[in-house]
Amino acid sequence: IGIEKKRLSTVTINDVRIVKKRDMSNVVRCVLFSPEDLFLVKGEPQFRRSFMDNCLCQLSARYQKSLNNYEKLLKGKQKILRDGTDYSYLQSVNLQLAQYSIDIIDMRRRMCTALEKHAQAFHHQMTNKKETLTLRYKTIPYADKEITRDEIGELVLKRFMDSYDAEIAAHTTLVGIQRDDIEIFINGSEAKKFASQGQARTAAISLKFAERELLREDEDYPIMLLDDVLNFRLVVLYQSHCLLQK
């Protein structure tokens, strides 16, 4: 890995330069701990979507490909709606978006189920079982349930069709997986609204340790990166957890 001042970083594997980030996922996985992790709990949905995407892109090249294709199509749809002149391709774009949504929703909902299991264990450890952390994947209505992939596609497409006129009137997209979120609860209360700063920090740490478990391959853990401005409590909690795991 080469980092040069005022130039783009370069990555090579066996002297071959890596251009696409997804090509790195099978070589090196990492989890970054930083002060911004508090936004996982208290911040806007975009922070939790990025959290899901960063993890899943390291786990699945298929997920990253579906996400990239979805985002490209979404930009095209936004342009059609913004220009407001020719809607002839809108139905076709919605159909393609629904197809890519199947992979994204299916993997996100399965990730959230596994993430909750690990995050609960870490959260119990750090709170002496005084607090229980639970997660709820928020997406297209009913698509988070135990339904088939085909049913997911049908639900997403119906959602697009139901919102067709409203999106044209608003000149922007109103529905889609770009609005997904993870709802976080501590002892049944929504953490975003009711958690204290300390509770939010502990929940965020639990989620990052859970991410580490998801990225684990057999006995090989991902690289853990600690931001050099990370607060002292986080470092102490991290070191304590490592000792407990030995």
Could you read off the pLDDT of 7-34 as tens digits, one per residue?
666 777 777 776 665 556 666 788 888 8
Residue 2's pLDDT is what? 58
Residue 229's pLDDT is what? 46
Residue 201's pLDDT is what? 87
Residue 29's pLDDT is what? 84
Residue 30's pLDDT is what? 83
For residue 191, the tally of other CB atoms under 10 A from its CB is 24
Residue 213's pLDDT is what? 93
Low-confidence spans in the chain with pLDDT less than 50:
229-230, 246
* CA gap 210, 107 in Å, rounded: 16
Tokens coding 148: 């088939």
Residue 85's pLDDT is what? 79
Residue 114's pLDDT is what? 96
